[in-house]
């Protein structure tokens, strides 16, 4: 959806559209007139109607030029040719078919309509109205002169007059409408801009929250639950490094601006594999089943998100499930890649707001949903937990309906290996 | 939602603002027919048929007016066909009224009225559809004209009669289609340009926003976390006091994170609007506005969020930041998410429709199944959307 045109562009576009419509109507009128004259000429060979045909042809050429060129010179030329052509047309038609014209002046209306509808190259309502008026006056003058020359008295041409009035009303209403739209357009554009900024901010906040959870909270938990009296050197190094990163400038910006949508060639290089290796290093027995190669069909952004999410799931298994065994199963279909992390541990109850629930929400669910994926969690206390992560393979690029998805989650976790 | 290339989809506000033209053309079609029928009533063979034709045309006009109302319903292809069908039937019956007389050239209103209906529908249906139905209508009307002119010997060639009668219909039809096409092309080209601009702007803004989010986080970190970790790293031992402290910090961070993680953009928006009142020195009402237990507000698309955001801001603006009885309920059912927004607006009917019309028009372009009701000063919107 676009929110329509802003106020400075709308009048020009409206003018252009009205001109186009006018030209189409003029074209229809001229073609119709040609058709009618041919019909008369075909049925009665004694009629001398070819001047009308030439006049109409000239008008058609002039119309084509006005439509293409859109200059004032072309418009004036069109008016001049059109007036002359109307004169010729009326002269020829009424001299050959005087009784018809006297009974129904409608037959003369067509070139006049073409003259009313097609002249203007205008900016704004008044100019458009002006061209219409000039077209109408010239058309009626030409017709009057021709008729008086022949000596035929025709009635008032209601059709031409009605066309002029209708055209004027449509022009006026169209421009009133743009004024009305002007009141609400700015609010809509502001809403769109706010939404875009809000979207960017919330993605950033999301990344910050996920990162903070993965690093700070995890170190705090390690300290809180430590049994030894000192920190291990490895822990110290990790804490220092994580703090450096958080305080540094770059952790919210693009870390891989070059190719976030590239796919990785070898599944062994994927973040998913890194996550599994990390977990194994911490003593978790992870068995992998299914089609791991399917993961390479995901683009880099989604792969990164998947790796970090699975890492968090496995960390949860280590910390909260009470067992040191988990299974990671991967399935690929034409449209998605599904990864399940299954353990037979303690399980948990949905409504609790413990550390594992927050981890799931921040680190797993929001991360995956931010790249158009889906997460489902099944857990029964005492029996175990299964977490399903599903990611689409085809990236959704709805240009103009979504803000740019140009971010990638920082690869802090990969550095941890 | 399948996107049609119509002005209504690409420029809902512009289309709504042109409502006067739409209604005017639809009503004008009927008025013109009525006048023509009235003038020729004395001389017509079968006045009853003339009146019946008018009634059918009135139905057609009503269909066009109601279907183009953003409060009532999208202008579907079915509506388009229905309106044209009624009008063509009216045209057929009206030929019965002027059968055998020579009135039909001057007083046949069908082509002009049909043309005006097409003018009214121009913004709501794709140009191709308009030309297609217009062509069929022209063939039908031409056929009727042919039959009529055979019944009367006018001395005018058949094709000329058909030509003059069908002209208003074709002219208005082509004109409407040309207008619609021109608008759609301009809007699409504009859309492409703004998308490029939006991309550039968002990349610029990202850096600034990143820095701002960064600052917020670092402040929290600096206050508690950094000193604690620095102390632990320096001391090189972990005491029970440290453990207790770690637990306390973790709990406080977690509490804040839980609140943040769960809040949707909608709740953030309401919170932001409430803070407007605080900034003016007032005290905002604290009654709960958003009922969204499953946090499905986040599943709306970017366009849907923008449309809803604009409406909610407009509601706050109109009521001086204190909308009465505003409630937004979101729930999931059967694979779709359903939402109900209700608010009390104390204005005259017509004024409500005009003031919020543009926003409703936009919502209609982005949500399927939008139902709007305004009863006893309560404006209610019902809409649904798919889970992304």
CB contact under 8 A, B309 and A194: yes
At residue A194, the pLDDT reads: 80
DSSP β-ladder status, A285-290 and A325-332:
parallel
Whose tokens are 């021109």? That residue is B182
Q: Please report residues of B whose CB lies closer than 8 A to that of A170.
A: 21, 119
Cα of B325 to nearest chain A Cα, Å: 23
Structure tokens at B163: 């030509």
* Bridge partners for B372 per DSSP: B381
The first and second tokens of residue B229, run together, are 């970790």
Residue B379 has pLDDT above 80, yes or no: yes
Query: Which residues of chain A make contact with B181, given a CB cutoff of 8 A?
Result: 20
Q: Which residues of B touch A195 (CB under 8 A)?
A: 265, 302, 305-306, 309
Strands (E), chain B: 290-291, 324-333, 336-344, 368-375, 378-386
A173 shares contact with chain B (CB less than 8 Å): yes
Instruction: Determine the distance in angstroms separating the CA of A330 from the nearest CA of chain B, rounded to an integer.
Output: 22
A contact test, residue of B27, B146, B201, B238 with most A CBs within 10 A: B238
Q: How far apart are CA B311 and CA B361, in angstroms?
A: 10
Distance of alpha carbon B78 from alpha carbon B120, whole angstroms: 16
Nearest to B13 among A174, A184, A212 (CB): A184
Picking from A13, A196, A253, the nearest residue to B202 by CB comes out as A196
Question: Whole-angstrom Cα distance, residue A267 to residue A262?
Answer: 13
Report A:57-76 residues touching B (Cβ under 8 A): none
Where residue A398 falls among pLDDT bands split at 50, 70, 90? very low
- The yes-or-no verdict on residue B74 having pLDDT over 90 is no
The whole-number pLDDT of residue B381 equals 92
Q: Per-residue pLDDT averaged across B176-189, rounded?
A: 89
Mean pLDDT of the region A377-401: 71
Contacts with B362 from chain A: Cβ below 8 Å: 1, 3, 188
Q: Check CB contact of A185 with chain B, cutoff 8 Å.
A: yes
Q: What is the mean pLDDT of chain B?
A: 84
Q: How far apart are CA A341 and CA A315, in angstroms?
A: 11
Closest CA of chain B from A24, distance in Å: 5
Q: What is the pLDDT of residues A289-319, one digit of tens each?
A: 888 888 888 887 888 888 888 988 888 888 8
B295 φ/ψ sector (left φ>0, alpha ψ -120 to 50, else beta): left
- Chain A residues inside the 8 Å CB shell of B247: 220, 224
A392 sits in which H/E element: strand A384-392
Q: For residue B192, which residues of chain A lie inside 8 Å, CB to CB?
A: 400
DSSP-derived letter for residue A240 is H
Q: In 3D, which of A111, A94, A81 has the Cα closest to residue A146?
A: A94
Rounded Cα gap, residues A173 and A179, in angstroms: 10
Q: Is A187 on the interface with B (CB under 8 A)?
A: yes
Q: Is A27 on the interface with B (CB under 8 A)?
A: yes
- Which residues lie across from A326 on neighbouring strands? A286, A343
Secondary structure letter of residue A226 according to DSSP: -
Cβ-based burial of A257 (10 A; exposed 0-12, middle 13-18, buried ≥19)? exposed
Measured in angstroms, the CA of B55 and the nearest CA of chain A are apart by 24
Q: Which of A24, A197, A398 to mutate to test the interface with B (most CBs of B within 10 A)?
A: A24
pLDDT in tens, B192-250: 877 777 777 777 777 777 777 777 777 767 777 778 888 887 777 778 888 888 888 88
Query: What is the average per-residue pLDDT within B289-313?
Result: 85
CB-based contact B310 A32, cutoff 8 Å: no
Q: How far apart are the first and last CA of chain A?
A: 45
Residues of A in contact with B269 (CB under 8 A): 198
Phi/psi region, residue A340 (left: phi>0; alpha: psi -120 to 50; beta: rest), is beta
Joined tokens for residue B21: 């033209």
Query: Looking at the complex, does the CB of residue A252 fall below 8 Å from at least one CB of chain B?
Result: yes
Q: Distance (Å) from the C-alpha of residue A307 to the closest C-alpha of chain B?
A: 20
Q: How far apart are CA A114 and CA A143, in angstroms?
A: 13
Tens-digit pLDDT profile for residues A218-254: 888 888 877 777 777 777 787 787 777 766 655 555 4
Whether the model clears a pTM of 0.80, i.e. scores above it, the answer is: no
Question: What is the pLDDT at residue B135?
Answer: 94
Task: List chain A residues with CB under 8 Å of B182.
Answer: 13, 16-17, 20-21
- For testing the chain B interface, which of A9, A17, A98, A373 should be mutated: the one with the most B CBs within 10 Å? A17
Over residues A113-160, the pLDDT tens digits come to 988 887 666 777 888 888 889 999 999 999 889 888 888 777 788 888
Q: What is the mean pLDDT of residues B45-69?
A: 91
Q: Chain A partners of B236 at a C-beta cutoff of 8 Å?
A: 230-231
A397 touches chain B (CB under 8 A): no
**pLDDT at position B29:** 92
pLDDT digits (tens, 9 = 90+) for B146-162: 888 887 777 788 888 88
CB contact (8 A) between residue A230 and residue B238:
yes
Residues of chain A positioned with their CB less than 8 A from the CB of B166? 32
Question: pLDDT of B94-121, one tens digit each?
Answer: 888 777 776 667 778 889 999 999 999 9
Q: Is the separation of the CB atoms in A121 and A71 below 8 Å?
A: yes
Flag whether pLDDT at A7 surpasses 60: yes
Q: Which residue has the higher pLDDT, B331 or B4?
A: B331
Main-chain phi, psi angles of B379, to 5 degrees: -90, 125
Q: Testing the interface with A: which of B168, B311, B353 to mutate, by most A Cβ within 10 A?
A: B168
- Whether residue A403 and residue B198 make contact (CB cut-off 8 A), yes or no, is yes
Q: Does any CB of chain B come closer than 8 Å to the CB of residue A21?
A: yes
Q: Chain centroid to CA B57: how far?
A: 26
Q: Judge: B179–A20 Cβ closer than 8 Å, yes or no.
A: yes
Of A221, A91, A202, nearest to B253 by C-alpha is A221
Contact call for B179 and A18, based on CB within 8 A: yes
DSSP B247-314: HHHHHHHHHHHHHHHH--HHHHHHHHHHHHHHHTT-----S--EE-TT-GGGGS-HHHHHHHHHHHHH
**Nearest-by-Cβ selection for A187 from B194, B225, B313:** B313
User: Between A and B, how many residue pairs show a Cβ–Cβ distance under 8 A?
Assistant: 295
How far, in Å, are A293, A407, B13, B364, B379 from residue B372 at the CA level?
Answer: 50, 38, 17, 10, 7
Contacts of A4 in chain B (CB under 8 A): 10-14, 187
In chain A, pLDDT over 90 holds for what percent of residues? 8
Rounded Cα gap, residues A3 and B7, in angstroms: 11
Query: Which among A24, A201, A219 has the least Cβ separation from residue B175?
Result: A24
Q: Return d(Cα B43, Cα A170) in angstroms, integer.
A: 33
More confident residue, A284 or B283: A284
Residues B140 and B91: their CA atoms lie apart, in Å, by 9
């Amino acid at each position: 959806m676009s929110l329509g045109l802003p106020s400075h562009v709308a009048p020009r576009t409206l003018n252009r559209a009205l001109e186009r419509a006018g030209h189409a109507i003029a074209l229809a009128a001229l073609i119709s007139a040609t058709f009618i004259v041919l019909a008369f000429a075909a049925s009665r060979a004694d009629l001398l109607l070819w001047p009308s045909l030439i006049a109409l042809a000239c008008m058609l050429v002039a119309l084509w030029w006005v439509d293409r060129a859109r200059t004032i010179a072309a418009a004036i030329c069109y008016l001049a040719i059109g007036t002359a052509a109307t004169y010729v047309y009326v002269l020829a038609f009424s001299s050959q078919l005087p009784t018809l014209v006297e009974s129904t002046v409608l037959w003369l209306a067509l070139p006049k309509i073409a003259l009313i509808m097609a002249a203007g190259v205008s900016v704004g309502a008044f100019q458009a109205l002006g061209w219409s008026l000039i077209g109408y006056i010239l058309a009626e003058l030409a017709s009057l002169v021709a008729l008086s020359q022949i000596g035929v008295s025709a009635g008032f041409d209601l059709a031409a007059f009605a066309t002029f009035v209708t055209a004027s009303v449509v022009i006026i209403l169209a421009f009133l409408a743009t004024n009305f739209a002007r009141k609400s357009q700015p609010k809509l554009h502001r809403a769109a801009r706010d939404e875009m900024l809000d979207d960017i901010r919330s993605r950033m906040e999301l990344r910050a929250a996920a990162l903070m959870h993965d690093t700070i909270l995890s170190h705090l938990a390690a300290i809180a639950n430590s049994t030894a009296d000192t920190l291990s050197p490895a822990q110290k190094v990790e804490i220092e490094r994580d703090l450096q990163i958080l305080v540094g400038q770059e952790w919210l910006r693009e870390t891989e601006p070059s190719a976030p949508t590239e796919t990785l060639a070898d599944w062994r290089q994927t973040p998913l594999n890194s996550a599994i290796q990390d977990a194994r290093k911490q003593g978790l027995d992870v068995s992998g089943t299914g089609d791991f190669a399917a993961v390479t069909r995901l683009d880099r952004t989604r792969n990164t998100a998947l790796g970090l999410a699975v890492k968090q799931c496995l960390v949860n298994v280590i910390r909260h499930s009470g067992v040191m065994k988990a299974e990671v199963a991967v399935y690929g279909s034409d449209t998605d890649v599904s990864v399940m992390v299954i353990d037979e541990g303690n399980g948990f109850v949905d409504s609790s707001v413990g550390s594992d629930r927050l981890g799931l929400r921040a680190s797993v669910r929001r991360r995956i949903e931010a790249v158009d994926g889906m997460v489902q969690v099944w857990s029964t206390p005492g029996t175990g937990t299964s977490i399903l992560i599903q990611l689409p393979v085809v990236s959704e690029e709805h240009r103009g309906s979504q803000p740019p998805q140009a971010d990638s989650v920082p690869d802090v976790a990969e550095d941890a290996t | 939602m399948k996107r049609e290339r119509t002005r209504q989809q690409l420029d809902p506000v512009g289309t709504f603002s042109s409502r006067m033209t739409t209604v005017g053309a639809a009503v004008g079609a009927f008025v013109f027919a009525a006048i023509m029928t009235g003038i020729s009533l004395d001389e017509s063979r079968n006045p009853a048929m003339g009146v019946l034709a008018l009634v059918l045309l009135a139905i057609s006009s009503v269909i066009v007016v109601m279907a183009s109302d953003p409060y009532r319903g999208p202008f579907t292809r079915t509506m388009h066909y229905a309106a044209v069908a009624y009008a063509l039937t009216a045209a057929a019956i009206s030929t019965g009224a002027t059968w055998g007389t020579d009135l039909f050239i001057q007083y046949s209103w069908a082509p002009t009225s049909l043309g005006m209906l097409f003018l009214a529908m121009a913004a709501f249906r794709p140009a191709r559809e308009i030309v297609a139905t217009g062509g069929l209508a022209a063939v039908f009307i031409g056929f009727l004209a042919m039959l009529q002119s055979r019944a009367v010997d006018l001395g005018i060639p058949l094709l000329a009669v058909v030509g003059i009668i069908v002209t208003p219909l074709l002219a208005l039809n082509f004109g409407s289609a040309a207008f619609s096409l021109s608008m759609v092309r301009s809007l699409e080209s504009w859309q492409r340009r703004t998308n490029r601009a939006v991309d550039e702007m968002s990349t610029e803004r990202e850096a600034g926003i990143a820095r701002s989010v960064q600052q917020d986080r670092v402040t929290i970190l600096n206050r508690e976390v950094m000193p604690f970790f620095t102390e632990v790293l320096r001391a090189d031992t972990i005491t029970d006091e440290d453990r207790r402290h770690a637990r306390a910090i973790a709990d406080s961070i977690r509490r804040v994170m839980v609140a943040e993680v769960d809040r949707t953009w909608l709740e953030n928006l309401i919170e932001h609007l409430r803070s407007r009142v605080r900034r003016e020195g007032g005290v905002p009402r604290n009654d709960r506005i958003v009922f969204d237990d499953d946090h499905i507000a986040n599943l709306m698309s970017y366009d849907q969020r923008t449309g809803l955001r604009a409406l909610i801001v407009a509601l706050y603006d109109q009521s001086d930041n204190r909308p009465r009885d505003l409630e937004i309920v979101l729930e999931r059912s059967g694979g779709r998410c359903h939402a109900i927004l209700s608010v009390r607006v104390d204005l005259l009917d017509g004024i409500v429709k005009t003031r919020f019309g543009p926003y409703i028009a936009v919502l209609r372009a982005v949500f399927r199944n939008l139902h709007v009701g305004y009863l006893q000063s309560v404006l209610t919107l019902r809409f649904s959307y798919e889970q992304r």
